[in-house]
Amino acid sequence: MAVTDEAISTIKAMIVSGELKPGQRLPPEKELSERLGLSRNSLREAVKSLEVIRVLDVRRGDGTFVTSLEPHLLLEAMSFVVDLHQDSSVLEIFEVRRVLEPFAAGLAAARITAEQLDALAATLDSVNESTPVEELVEHDLEFHRLITEASGNAYLSSLVESMSSSTIRARIWRGITQDDATERTLNEHAAILDALRNHDVERTESSLAAHVGGIVAWLQRAIS
């Protein structure tokens, strides 16, 4: 488990035990980092991650606080972190996607229209490296949906989309914890779009396979 994930698990345990309560301020950074056995940089990454999922509230000049949510809601917000490490079903979904999506993308390369290419370009242009993680994941879902829709196979498109809805939390967590996730995602999407523009079936399939394969590799490391 990554250092950031260990820190998050420890902070969660403090909430479960009641040591940290809704609205309570966290101990000073130096004290907490020493207690968790982490560098300050690692602790800051953990705090940043928990701020994104609305477990912590960072108030500049005032400190970091547990949000005012009820304890069971706080734990629910954090549950997907634990689920990601204990449940292999998300990995299995991505492994199936690695088989189906390149095939769908290959069909799309042969059939995609100018209007559909414009829609893909528009969603790619709407994000950049400073885009918040939640918005980046929304873009990712839409980008993949447009490609499978362009395959012209409604059943295949529906099947892939139904699997994608079960992987949203894992995508968010990757965006939070993997340093180059945003840059990598945008570069890979750009390469897929370029292959589609050229109606290059083989390159589209290989680009999509590499893209999903990268997520599978990250997940395998995350749950090991």
Domain boundary assignment for the chain: 3-79, 87-223
211: exposed, middle or buried (Cβ count in 10 Å: 0-12, 13-18, 19+): buried
CATH classification number, 87-223, choose in 3.40.50.2300, 3.20.20.60, 1.20.120.530, 3.40.718.10: 1.20.120.530
pLDDT mean for each 10 residues of the chain (224 residues): 66 75 84 82 77 77 77 55 56 87 96 97 93 84 94 91 74 70 90 97 96 85 68
- The pLDDT assigned to 69 comes to 61
Instruction: Quote the CA–CA distance of 204 and 187 in Å, as a whole number.
Output: 14
**Number of helical H runs and strand E runs in the chain:** 11, 2
Q: Tell me if 160 sits within 8 A of 167, measured CB to CB.
A: no
- The pLDDT assigned to 80 comes to 47
Could you tell me the two tokens for 158? 């529906």
Instruction: Quote the CA–CA distance of 170 and 203 in Å, as a whole number.
Output: 27
Other CB atoms within a 10 A radius of the CB of residue 11 amount to 24
The secondary structure of residue 28, as a DSSP letter, is: P
Name every residue whose Cβ is closer than 8 Å to that of residue 100 and which is 6 or more positions away in sequence: 156, 159, 160
Model confidence, pTM: 0.66
- The pLDDT assigned to 40 comes to 81
Q: Which residues pair with 59 in a beta bridge?
A: 63
CATH number of 3-79: 1.10.10.10
- The pLDDT assigned to 74 comes to 57
